[in-house]
Amino acid sequence: MSRSSTVLIVDDYADALDVWTLYLTGEGFHVLTAADGREALARARGERPDIVILDLELPDVSGCDVARALRAAPDTRHIPLIAATGSTEARHLDEARGAGFDLVLSKPCDPDDLVLEIRRLTSGAMSA
C-alpha cells in the first residue's frame, strides 16, 4: 500500500485551516498547516510536503512571493503548488500563474474537486 500524500495548507483564516484539515484527513491525506507566509516557507523547507495549497492574501508574505521562493530553491522547486484565492480579478490570477502555481482555484472551491486536483498533481510523486 502506498503512503498518503502530505498536504501543506496555508491560510490566515483559522476556520478554513480547520475545515480543510478535517476534510482532507478524512480523505486519507496527512495535513500540515501554516497561518502565514513565513511559517509556510519554514514548513515546506523543513517537512517537504507533496503539495502546497496557498491562500494568495496572507498577512506577511504574499502567496505569490511564497510560491516564487519555493520555485527558486532546488529542494522545493518540484513541489506542486495550488493557489486558492477569493479574487476573480484577472491581474491576480495572472500574477499567480506567473509566480509558478500549477493550478489556481477560486474560493470557495468544491472539496471533491480539490481532492481530485491534489491526487492528479501528486500522482507522479507518489509513484516514484
Asked, for residue 11, whether it belongs to a domain, the answer is yes
Asked, for residue 116, whether it belongs to a domain, the answer is no
Question: Which among 10, 75, 85 has a CA at the least distance from the CA of 46?
Answer: 75
Question: What pTM was estimated for this model as a whole?
Answer: 0.91
pLDDT at 127 over 50: no
At residue 3, the pLDDT reads 66
Intra-chain end-to-end CA distance of the chain, in Å: 14
The tally of domains found in the chain comes to 1
Asked, for residue 124, whether it belongs to a domain, the answer is no
Q: What is the CATH number of the domain that holds 93?
A: 3.40.50.2300
Q: What is the pLDDT of residues 81-111, one digit of tens each?
A: 999 988 777 777 788 889 999 999 988 889 9
Asked, for residue 26, whether it belongs to a domain, the answer is yes
Q: Within 10 Å of residue 83's Cβ, how many Cβ atoms?
A: 27
Asked, for residue 121, whether it belongs to a domain, the answer is no
Asked, for residue 119, whether it belongs to a domain, the answer is no
Asked, for residue 118, whether it belongs to a domain, the answer is no
Asked, for residue 125, whether it belongs to a domain, the answer is no
Q: What is the pLDDT of residues 3-37, one digit of tens each?
A: 689 999 999 999 999 999 999 999 999 999 999 99
Domain carrying residue 66: 6-108
